[in-house]
Amino acid sequence: MTKILVIEDENAVRENLVELLEAEDFETIDAANGKVGINLALTEVPDLILCDLMMPEFDGYAVLTTLRQEPLTATIPFIFLTAKATKADFRQGMELGADDYLTKPFTRAELLSAIDGRLKKQATLKQYFSTSPQLKAFNSEMLVVKNILHGAIEQGHFRQFFVEYQPQVDIHSGKIIAAEALLRWQSPELGIVAASELVPLAESTELIIAIGEWVLESVCQQNRAWQNAGYSPLCIAVNFSARQFTQPDLIKKIVHFLTTNNLEPHYLELELTESLIMQDINAAIAIMNELRSLGVKIAVDDFGTGYSSLMYLKKLPINKLKIDRYFIHNVANDPQKAAITTALIQMGHNLNLQVIAEGVETELDLEFLRQHNCDAMQGFLFSRPVTAAEFQKFLSRSAEIKQTS
């Protein structure tokens, strides 16, 4: 029996939808808000999702963004239910991966037609990919890419890899106060491969451990080099995947790289996602406590898009919250995003955490964050990720300004 998840905050609408679908012999599960809907999608893995667009806390866009990032739910057909339907809504939804829109009020026939169309297309795709030589070619291609990656590490000794740095800037002073390190792979065969593509590939093998160690060592070396050159010390953040974070000798390796480079621990920060932490909250807290006891800083990355309970947040031994770029984009003109972002800033400050906004791209969004006392920003408005040499130019300019002031 086909299983459909209904995510709708209006009780009457949700109950009517469930009743209609059950009358058509669909198995239904329903959620009264986006957060519950995400949890149900991940645990029940439905065949199709109907989701209201305008909901408090987690709106339809946030639900879709979260589910498209999870392997279990990434390809589930997703239909938005909305009371408005502007071109901007359609474009944003489709860019995030929505399959269809239904504008309220819609008829029973329109609903069933939309569901039937998406289910038939999904069935066709499944049949195609289960027998298609193209899929076999794709799998072969992925094997080739993995082999190229393996060769780049084993034979090239990481010469094809480099780290870029994106500045994190104090919102009120405009000064660079930290940076995020971002891995890049310059493959002769594939061109430049970003971390968003490289990390999932490396995670599917054991290569992620070796790559993670190289990044950590490179960042510690670079930070020490900048300090030796006389630049003001900065904390540099390194992203950690689940497999990296749970390796048994993680603490030992971090201590080794810090000691070897004579780097004080508080100049290193580990960025962990909500979903990583929530995989095993107790184990994660234990590891984070060890890291904090060393003096290493910890940030929760992409905060607001995960499905963790806020009751756990105060238990986490962290220093920083990074508000996800989804909430920051157009925050000055979106009342719901504005309300959520304001609440996240206040909550972070109440827990004595530094709050940084990711993906800041416009002066309007920056001004909103400044007015609501966000601590720092990171985004294209100030700078894209740049090479170590380009980042050093930022440091040089900051040093010149400091000397003349």
Residues 173 and 265 in one domain: yes
Residues 279 and 229 in one domain: yes
pLDDT digits (tens, 9 = 90+) for 309-367: 566 788 899 999 999 888 898 899 989 889 999 999 999 999 999 999 998 989 999 99
Residues 232 and 269 in one domain: yes
Structural domain contains residue 143: no
Structural domain contains residue 149: no
Structural domain contains residue 361: yes
Residues 126 and 169 in one domain: no
List all residues 6 or more positions away from 242 whose beta carbon is below 8 Å from its beta carbon.
203, 276, 279
Mean pLDDT of the chain: 85
pLDDT digits (tens, 9 = 90+) for 100-134: 888 877 888 889 988 988 887 777 656 654 555 55
Query: What is the tally of structural domains in the chain?
Result: 2
Residues 207 and 336 in one domain: yes
Residues 99 and 195 in one domain: no
Q: Report whether the peptide linkage leading into residue 46 is cis, meaning its omega lies within 30 degrees of zero.
A: no
Residues 192 and 249 in one domain: yes
Residues 71 and 182 in one domain: no
**Number of C-alpha atoms within 13 angstroms, CB side, residue 270?**
30
Structural domain contains residue 21: yes
Q: What is the CATH number of the domain that holds 269?
A: 3.20.20.450
Structural domain contains residue 179: yes
User: What is the extent of the structural domain holding 377?
Assistant: 157-404
Structural domain contains residue 146: no
Please state the pTM of the whole predicted model: 0.66
Residues 256 and 121 in one domain: no
Q: What is the CATH number of the domain that holds 64?
A: 3.40.50.2300
Structural domain contains residue 150: no
Residues 18 and 167 in one domain: no
Structural domain contains residue 138: no
> Closest by alpha carbon to 284, among 298, 305, 269, 268?
298
Mean pLDDT value across residues 184-191: 82
Residues 70 and 185 in one domain: no
For the purposes of burial, counting CB atoms within 10 Å of the CB of 311, is it exposed (0-12), middle (13-18) or buried (19 or more)?
exposed
Residues 126 and 175 in one domain: no
Structure tokens at 174: 């405009």
